[in-house]
């Protein structure tokens, strides 16, 4: 495998991508965003690759953006598959632990989601003070659970995520990669051009929600990014205290 914070390897027509900052719960920083984007491009351009599997090293999938690093949201957006970067080939998320914020967005934009029983999912933006909407969640789980995740910022476990329609399978931790590879074995034997068309169809179906997000950006998202609340939320997170939001 090549890379330092994102590992990439191809075996038997399957590209394996591993987020490799286990000591930081695989949070995204500038280096991991650059390497992850390169991994996505390698996967999509390699004619020998039929399907990709992404997972995290250690006990987490990806705990979101590194709030302690200098990282603009554009860099993170650019590595969200089928959103910031379109991937024509099928993607499988093998979710081995915490998936939070941007990590949750990566999972939501993969085509198949397999999780270990220890996996946990959280959309913490309301507790930090800035969000780009979590619109992917409305595509991939029931509205009741999506709204709860988005507004409370509280986590749900793998079984609840499965019941909400977010996960295809929940398996014991020791069976996670085996189950992801079982799906990969099915997908890599299917007709590539047909799957490419089907993914394009799915992407077009999602565009209505994405167009709504674009309309909301100037009205709701930009004011958050420029607010004193977001600075307070990040400061409180670093200082491990409850934030004092003022709505300005």
Say yes or no to pLDDT of 246 above 60.
yes
pLDDT at residue 2 is higher than 50: no
More confident residue, 198 or 127: 198
pLDDT per residue over 22-56, tens digit each? 999 999 999 999 999 999 999 999 999 999 999 99
Give the pLDDT score at 244: 86
Domain contains 64:
yes
Q: What is the pLDDT of residue 137?
A: 87
Confidence tier at 1 by pLDDT (50, 70, 90):
very low
Residue 200 included in any domain: no
pLDDT at 198: 93
In a domain, 151, yes or no: yes
Provide the domain limits for residue 136.
6-193
For 68-113, write each residue's pLDDT tens digit. Answer: 766 667 788 889 998 789 999 999 999 999 999 899 999 999 999 9
- Classify residue 108: in a domain, yes or no: yes
Give yes or no for a contact between 49 and 22, defined as CB atoms under 8 angstroms apart: no
Smallest Cα–Cα separation from 181: which of 14, 18, 19?
14
- Tell me whether residue 217 is in a domain: no
211, pLDDT greater than 70: no
pLDDT at 231 over 70: yes
CATH number at residue 67: 3.90.226.10
Residue 167 falls inside a structural domain: yes
Mean pLDDT across the chain: 88
Task: Flag whether 247 is in a domain.
Answer: no
For the chain, what is the domain count? 1
5-9, 79-83, 210-214 — most confident range: 5-9
What is the per-residue pLDDT across 153-199, written as a single tens digit (0 to 9) for each? 999 999 999 999 999 999 999 999 999 999 999 999 999 999 999 98
What pLDDT is recorded for position 131? 65
Residue 214 lies in a domain: no
Please name which of 85, 84, 146, 91 lies closest in space to residue 121, comparing C-alpha atoms. 146
């Amino acid at each position: 495998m090549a890379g330092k914070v994102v590992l990439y390897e191809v075996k038997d027509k399957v590209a394996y991508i591993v987020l490799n900052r286990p000591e930081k719960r695989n949070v995204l920083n500038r280096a991991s965003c650059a390497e992850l984007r390169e991994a996505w491009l390698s996967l999509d351009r390699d004619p020998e690759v039929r399907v990709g599997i992404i997972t995290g090293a250690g006990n987490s999938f990806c705990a979101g953006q590194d709030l302690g690093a200098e990282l603009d949201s554009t860099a993170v957006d650019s590595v969200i598959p089928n959103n910031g970067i379109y991937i024509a080939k099928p993607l499988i998320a093998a979710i081995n632990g915490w998936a939070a914020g941007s990590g949750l967005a990566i999972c939501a934009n993969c085509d198949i989601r397999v999780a270990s029983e220890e996996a946990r999912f959280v959309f913490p933006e309301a507790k930090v003070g800035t969000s780009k909407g979590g619109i992917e969640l409305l595509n991939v789980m029931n509205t009741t659970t999506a709204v709860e995740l988005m507004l409370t910022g509280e986590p749900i476990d793998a079984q609840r995520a499965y019941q909400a329609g977010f996960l295809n399978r929940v398996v014991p931790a020791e069976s996670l990669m085996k189950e992801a590879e079982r799906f990969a074995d099915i997908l890599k034997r299917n007709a590539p051009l047909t799957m490419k068309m089907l993914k394009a169809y799915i992407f077009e179906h999602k565009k209505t929600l994405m167009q709504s997000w674009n309309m909301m950006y100037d009205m709701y998202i930009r004011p958050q990014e420029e607010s004193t609340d977001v600075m307070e939320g990040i400061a409180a997170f670093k200082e491990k205290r409850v934030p004092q939001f003022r709505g300005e």
